[in-house]
Amino acid sequence: MLIPPGIMVSRTMSSFSEWMLPTIEGMVGIFHSHPNSSSRPSAQDKRLFSQKGGINIIAGYPFELKNVSAYIGSGKEVPFKVVD
Ligand SMILES: [Zn+2]
């Protein structure tokens, strides 16, 4: 797991510069959370997904499984399964 430097966080939002995300060989995707219950990607999320590819997981508050969604690079939601 990589936590990009320069993250800005407040009670209602968080953000980081996508320029701070390195290209890592073998990277399988990006996980991030939303401070509200939505696990739907924003327009910025979709743009990042298309640039980085892989599997992109978003967890919405309160971060229960029902508030977690996975998307591929095109922005299409895909099913996922949690395993031990
Ligand atoms: Zn987001």
Query: How many structural domains comprise the chain?
Result: 1
Of residues 31, 59, 56, the one with CA closest to residue 46? 56
Is the residue at 21 inside a domain?
no
Segment 36-75, tens digit of pLDDT: 889 999 998 999 899 888 999 999 999 999 999 999 999 9
- Give residue 61's domain range: 28-76
Is the residue at 18 inside a domain?
no
Q: How far, in Å, from the CA of 38 to the mean position of ligand 1?
A: 9
Q: What is the pTM of this model?
A: 0.79
Q: How far, in Å, from the CA of 33 to the mean position of ligand 1?
A: 6
Segment 3-23, tens digit of pLDDT: 777 777 777 777 777 777 777
CB 40 within 8 A of CB 46: no
CATH number at residue 54: 3.40.140.10
Is the residue at 61 inside a domain?
yes
Q: How far, in Å, from the CA of 68 to the mean position of ligand 1?
A: 12
Is the residue at 6 inside a domain?
no
Q: How far, in Å, from the CA of 45 to the mean position of ligand 1?
A: 5
